Structure 1
Amino acid sequence: MSFLFKSSNGSTADKGLTLEEQQERINELRKDLGEQSSEAIKGFLSDESLSRFLRARNWNVQKASKMLKAAVKWRLAFKPETICWEDISEEAETGKIYRADYKDKLGRTVLVLRPGLENTTSGTGQIKYLVYSLEKAIMNLTDDQEKMVWLTDFQSWTLGSTPLKVTRETVNVLQDCYPERLGLAILYNPPRIFESFWRCRNGCYHDVVKVSVFRISAPNQAVDFGSSENNVVKPFLDQETRKKVKFVYSNDKESQKIMAEVFDMDQLDSAFGGNNPAGFEYNSYADQMRDDDKKMGSLHSSNSADSDASSEASFYSGTDSPKHGDGEHNVPKTG
């Protein structure tokens, strides 16, 4: 069976619980969260949302509660629902992140990322634009879908394109604040050594990643790999997220089959091997995003107090990020 159609809105962990048992745990989690005064948070804490956090922690209420409380704290500080186009329009100018005008064969929203087109130096602004893009991608999901596809193009990318701190914060935001929202991540034409990192397991993983990165960044320099300042690259994707990543190369016919399996090639952007010549056009995309802002009811002045609070918030400020180790994927016992 195709890997594409193995995926669904549910999780393999769901199969260990009946619908009634799942609802019981949702109710238990809601009780543990207590009353919320923020209308935005009340809207965020739907049964569907609680279910996603529970699935991310294999229906362990205690672990899901810890994760969700941290996410609520982050949302109260960051206020993602208030971000509008005018707040992040500069970040969007190069098309480094945008929602595609096509979906995959399962009807999932496609978010295109082009890290090689980074045009700003503000990590805060970059994360703010990512969050804005995530919120709008989720808003455009159909009722029968809750996951999206990330299509990442590595053209023009270098090690200096994205600081490690921004990369780490991107992963933390996605995994800890938007769990069970990623259905598939396609890395298109990444450096081949990335896949070598990915396939390496257990004890060799840390050492190979650490050594290889410094060989790339400083090929002619002697580097003390044992020093603490060089031990900066660690795997910070959880196990379930890693399973969703696929490597595709334009000169590899076998990996190109993944694109044909996931997308309608007549709709897919030609930059990814499809037949659609249309690419990112800033002005038309800006109009589309402003329409989305109106739909979300989040139009506000970019220099308002809410906007200032949002722009200064970080995933790490005032938020204890849940440890990925808490999310051990053990199917709960039933009965």
Structure 2
Amino acid sequence: MSFKKLRASGAEKSLSFEEQQTKVNEVQKILGPLADKLPTLCSDASIIRYLKARNWNTKKAAKMLKETLKWRLVYKPEKIRWEDIAHEAETGKLYRANYFDRHGRTVLVMRPGFQNTTATEGQIKYLVYCMENAIANSNPGQEQMVWLIDFQGWNMSSISVKVTRETAHILQDYYPERLGIGILYNPPKIFESFWKMVKPFLETKTFKKVKFVYSDDPQSQKTMEELFDMDKLDSAFGGKNLAGFNYETYAQLMREDDNKKMSDSLSDCSLPTYLSPAEPEIPQEDASISDPDSEAFEEGGFTPSHEMASLILEEGTNKSAVSPPVGNEPGHSQSEAAKEVYLKDPV
């Protein structure tokens, strides 16, 4: 079966560990110096996600990874802070749950019926912030997460095809294979029409990870019990946890996460890790960018332009050019602060 047919069917090749490692090595070879300069984003685990997303086609996976690197250099998702998107979170339309599923995966809760803004840019920025935060609080070795989508209060006026299309683009192209399973909980009958509109935006593999679950269906209940500790799961999804989202407590948790991320970033910046061992000094013609007072610098590190983003990703990049640091893809374990309960008991 051809790659195109495999991808269309959602089928995935089954490779041995040795075969997978060979594929990873091939991608690293295609990436060249980038693989060494960006060790976290180009780690074996990260590359494997891109390979799986492209059914182990090394050229397509390398191209996809390069596009992600370029996007991260320009969009700078690691620099988004709570204060930048706090207003988007006020209604609890999207947040990280304070529990994992039985596989140790981070859980993101989405409540589209609680949408409180209209600007696509702001909504996508908040989505990216939540993805980065969820990844940062993942258990070691766990690459995927769970999405729980609650349809309480949802109606057709909650729909934005533009936001839906952009969301699918961001998640599939820049966070491939991060979704382990998506649970659509009690979607109304009218949602079926919208789902047919959404389907063309989703890759077959992504589409197959989405499950429709209904509170009055015994099989659905079994699915939830297999995935979650029902004592911890929100009552909105059939669990026994009667707590509700508390904005103030959640905001404090996010600020603590931001502070930890900034602290980690400053520690990483203690050495110019974006320079390879063979390039310990900045060439004279680029010395201006090493000046902390230069406009090319922002707090926390170098801010690349579109031109620099393209330059660093070009094959055969001029070795005299200095590659800017990229915010490492988060992957550390959940902090003690992140384990605090931010869901308040109902009055």
TM-score for both structures, normalised by structure 2: 0.69
From the superposition, tell whether residues 70 and 235 of structure 1 become closer, same or farther in structure 2 (CA, over 3 Å): same
Structure 2 residue aligned with 1:297: 262
CA contact (8 A) 2:148 2:185 kept: yes
1:118 aligns with 115
Task: For residue 43 of structure 1, give the secondary structure of its aligned residue in structure 2.
Answer: coil
Structure 2 counterparts to residues 221-260 of structure 1, below 5 A: 235-260=200-225
1:157 to partner: Cα distance: 1.4
CA shift at 1:192, angstroms?
2.4
Q: Does 1:271 align with 2:231?
A: no
Pairs aligned (count): 263
Deviation at 1:292, TM superposition (A): 1.3
**Once the two structures are superposed, what CA deviation does each residue of 1:63-94 show, in whole Å capped at 9, x if it has no partner?**
11221122112111111111111111111111
Which structure has more RCO (C-alpha within 8 Å, separation ≥ 6)? 1
SS in structure 1 at match of 2:71: helix
Kept in 1, the 8 Å contact 2:186–2:214? The answer is: yes
Aligned residues with identical type, % of pairs: 59
Instruction: In structure 1, give the amino acid aligned to 2:232.
Output: Q
**Partner residue in 2 for 1:167:** 164
Give the partner amino acid of 1:18. S
Deviations 1:108-155 (A, max 9, x none): 111000011111111111011111101111111111321100000111
- Contact 2:35–2:42, Cα closer than 8 Å, also in 1: no
Q: Go from structure 1 to structure 2 and tell me whether the alpha carbon gap of 1:33 and 1:306 turns closer, same or farther (over 3 Å shift).
A: farther
Of residues 47, 70, 75, the one that matches 2:72 is 75
Q: Which runs of 4+ in 1 moved over 6 A?
A: 304-307
Which of 172, 188, 192 aligns to 1:191? It is 188
1:180–1:85 CA distance, 2 compared to 1 (3 A): same
Give secondary structure in 2 for the equivalent of 1:183: strand
- Asked which structure has the greater CA Rg, the reply is 2
Q: Is the 8 A contact 1:82 1:298 kept in 2?
A: no
Map 1:89-238 onto structure 2 (within 5 A): 89-195=86-192, 209=196, 235-238=200-203
| Equivalent residue letter for 1:262 | L
Cα drift, residue 13 of structure 1: 4.1
Equivalent-residue separation in structure 2 for 1:107 and 1:27 (angstroms): 28
CA distance in 2, matches of 1:142, 1:132: 18
Q: Deviations over 1:141-184 (max 9, x none)?
A: 11132110000011111222231111011111111111111101
Distance of 1:165 and 1:89 partners within structure 2:
22
Deviation at 1:38, TM superposition (A): 11
Q: Deviations over 1:10-56 (max 9, x none)?
A: x98463x33222222212212212334997x5432222111110111
Report SS of the residue matched to 2:103: coil
Letter in 2 for 1:94: T
Number of the residue aligned with 1:287? 252
1:162 is matched by which residue type in structure 2?
I
The code of the aligned residue for 1:180 comes to E
Asked if 2 retains the 8 angstrom alpha-carbon contact of 1:149 and 1:184, the reply is: yes
Deviation at residue 305 of structure 1 after TM alignment: 6.4
The structure-2 alpha-carbon separation of the partners of 1:306 and 1:185, relative to structure 1 and needing over 3 Å to count, comes to farther
Opposite residue 23 of structure 1, the aligned amino acid is Q
| 2:81 maps to 1:84 | yes
Cα RMSD of the aligned pairs, angstroms, is 2.8
| 2:40 pairs with 1:43 | yes
Counterpart contact for 2:28–2:35, Cα < 8 Å: no
- Relative to structure 1, the CA distance from residue 290 to residue 59 in structure 2 (aligned partners, 3 Å threshold; closer, same or farther) is same
CA distance in 2, matches of 1:48, 1:187: 28
Work out the CA distance in 2 between the residues paired with 1:257 and 1:148: 20
Any conservation in 1 of the 2:108–2:147 contact (CA below 8 Å)? yes
Give the TM-score, by structure 1 length: 0.71
Contact 1:54 1:64 in 2 (8 A): yes
Q: Judge conservation of contact 2:145–2:179 (CA < 8 Å) in 1.
A: yes
Distance across 2 between alignment mates of 1:243 and 1:252: 20
Equivalent AA in structure 1 for residue 152 of structure 2: Q
Unaligned runs of 5+ in 1: 1-10, 199-208, 211-232, 314-335
| Aligned counterpart, 2:23 | 25
Matching residue's letter, 1:144: G
Gaps of 5+ in 2: 1-9, 266-296, 307-347
